[in-house]
Structure 1
Amino acid sequence: METYFGHREFKSDKPVLTLGIFDGVHRGHRALLNSVTNKARSLGTDSVVMTFDPHPRIVLSGNGGSLRFLSSLDEKLGLIEEAGIDKLIVIPFFIELSKMEACDFVKKYLVDIIGVGHLIMGFDHHFGYRGYGDAATITEYAARYSFGVERMKALKEKDEVISSTLIRELITEGELEKANSLLGYPYLLKGKVIQGKKIGRMLGYPTANIESDYPYKLIPADGVYAVEVVLGSSHFKAMLYIGPRSTIEGDSGKRTVEVNIFDFEDDIYEKDITVRFIHRLRGDRKFGSKGDLLKQIDKDKAEALRLLSL
């Protein structure tokens, strides 16, 4: 996949285009991307995705605040490439762009920059100032500028529309397995291993503390998870804890993300790490003693190994 940051060098001959934020690149997005690649193949042209960075909501909110999202730009690009897209263009999002009228947006970006031959829209896609551009207006512009247009239907799971908003809610609530089903892959967390307090090592379960490489990354609900860890080209079974470690640090503990990699003793501080969340074993809880905590951790490990071996 050819990736363009900005549009100065972008070239294509009447490509098939879709555009959007694609947070999480979930199954609904995948269906849209598959339609784009299939249409491009039938027309003998490029399949193209246009997305925006930073996330528009971060820019419009001023500083992002408590906003959290499913995927960083790096994660998003990798998932879009997996879908078989030929070219991806990342447009810098800024306040002035949010104020551009729909007609001006279509003329500048879709017609002049992309040279779109056919546009495939998501079922709920809006564009231009205050989102006034919709399926009706894009049909009008398509006729004016001579490009084809079609709109995808919503993809549903048990009568529920698959959306980034729904998946974010599920992950926040600890409904990991359902979220993974809607994503179509295990939820990811990428980051760097940082120094911790070595509490896990004192308990006989050394952990690697993880700091996300994306400040707006949605961290799943507090609790214990069966996960897969990727270090370079190597994959490992592991269990991961998210929470304030209240049994050890009382009620003043800071929320941490730490992973115990099974049968692993290497020093990986400052290394890049990827975690794939497979199952949520349980929610977080405060135990009466370290002994009680250790007994539960032993049970957590046994259950994680069982689930990861299925």
Structure 2
Amino acid sequence: MDLDIIHVQHPLTSIYTSEAEPCVLALGFFDGVHLGHQELINLAKRIAIQQDLKLAVMTFFPHPKQIIGNDQTPHTYITPLEQKAKIMQDLGVETLIVVNFDSAFAHLSPSGFIEDYLCGFNCKHAVAGFDFRYGHKGEGNMETLKIEGKRFFEVTEMNKFEIDHEKVSSTMLRNLIADGRFADIPSYLGTYFESQGTINFKDNQHVLVTLSETFPSPPPGVYLIEIQNEGNPYEGIAYQTMDESIQENWHLQFNDSFPLEGKKIHIKWKSESKMNLNQLTDKRARSISKVHAY
């Protein structure tokens, strides 16, 4: 099933909403689309099936912190929009509504958000997490959504999603990435963390890449990774020295020599390696057969 992606800008016009079909609408930013997000979307999906409604998701871009926060540092994304949309499609979402989060939208009142956006997209049942906030300064919450929205649609609130008594969140995943704890990530994300890079140099089994600044950056170190090339997986080592960390240059080393097509590369970060940088100074010694994941 194809995913219909609708990009909208505030103020919303009827060109976007005139053909909106009745739907169950899951609300959130969904960075990472981790297991908690997936549980929420699957909950919305079950309701959509029971009530014979379309399944839609409303998300926002860029991250609200880019607009309303004091931090001017460009925000990174565990799953950029294109990657997020692919996961949504795999989960069975039929319509993905991407709201451009700008200053005008940030000043929209909570009631304005309900009437313009939820009612505008023909929401019959809204589903969101217990901590979902909306409207100017985040004044709207799940309680106000239930009270103000009851004239128009039903509301289902999902409780905190925990694994081993710990809340699963995008912040948790960011902390794991920042600590290089990639082996722990699938327990919460459902898969390995994946980022993208640009190939700067290729020589047999050695590849030099610059990581995209769109994604959170791993700390300098040595890691077991996996890439896909022409549909085949290849495991290797990624490493970075401290003096290269400013340029975001990473060395990828593989046991096998194979042709890499194009300039872009997708990297799955699987675990930290017990191998240290000193063992990688001799090019002939760089072999993943010596890598043992934690």
Give the TM bin, normalised by the shorter chain: 0.7 to 0.9
The equivalent residue for 1:263 is: 256
The equivalent residue for 2:209 is: 209
Is 1:294–2:265 an aligned residue pair?
no
**8 Å CA contact retained: 2:220, 2:241:** yes
C-alpha distance in 2 between matches for 1:101 and 1:235: 49
C-alpha distance in 2 between matches for 1:166 and 1:293: 34
Q: What amino acid is aligned across from residue 125 of structure 2 in structure 1?
A: H
Q: What amino acid is aligned across from residue 28 of structure 2 in structure 1?
A: G
TM (norm. structure 1) is 0.83
**8 Å CA contact retained: 2:32, 2:78:** yes
Q: CA deviation at 1:260?
A: 2.1
Q: Quick one: which of 152, 158, 163 aligns to 2:158?
A: 152
Change in Cα spacing, 1:211 to 1:167, as seen in structure 2 (3 Å) is: closer
Change in Cα spacing, 1:107 to 1:284, as seen in structure 2 (3 Å) is: farther
The equivalent residue for 1:86 is: 94
Q: CA deviation at 1:267?
A: 5.0
How do 1:48-59 and structure 2 match up within 5 A? 48-59=56-67
What is the root-mean-square deviation in Å for CA atoms of aligned residues? Answer: 2.7
Change in Cα spacing, 1:116 to 1:227, as seen in structure 2 (3 Å) is: same
Stretch moving more, 230-239 or 73-82: 230-239
Match of 2:259, SS state, is coil
C-alpha distance in 2 between matches for 1:273 and 1:168: 21
The equivalent residue for 1:230 is: 228
Per-residue CA shift, 1:254-276, capped at 9, x if unaligned? Answer: 442232233124254x4222111
C-alpha distance in 2 between matches for 1:17 and 1:159: 28
| Contiguous gaps of at least 5 residues in structure 1 | none
Match of 1:207, SS state, is strand
- The alignment covers a number of residue pairs equal to 286
The equivalent residue for 1:45 is: 53
Q: Which stretches of structure 1, 4 residues or more, deviate above 6 A after TM superposition? A: none
- The structure in which a higher percent of residues are helix is 1
How do 1:54-203 and structure 2 match up within 5 A? 54-61=62-69, 64-65=72-73, 67-112=75-120, 114-145=121-152, 147-193=153-199, 195-196=200-201, 201=203
| Contiguous gaps of at least 5 residues in structure 2 | none
Q: Give % identity.
A: 24
Is 1:3–2:5 an aligned residue pair?
yes
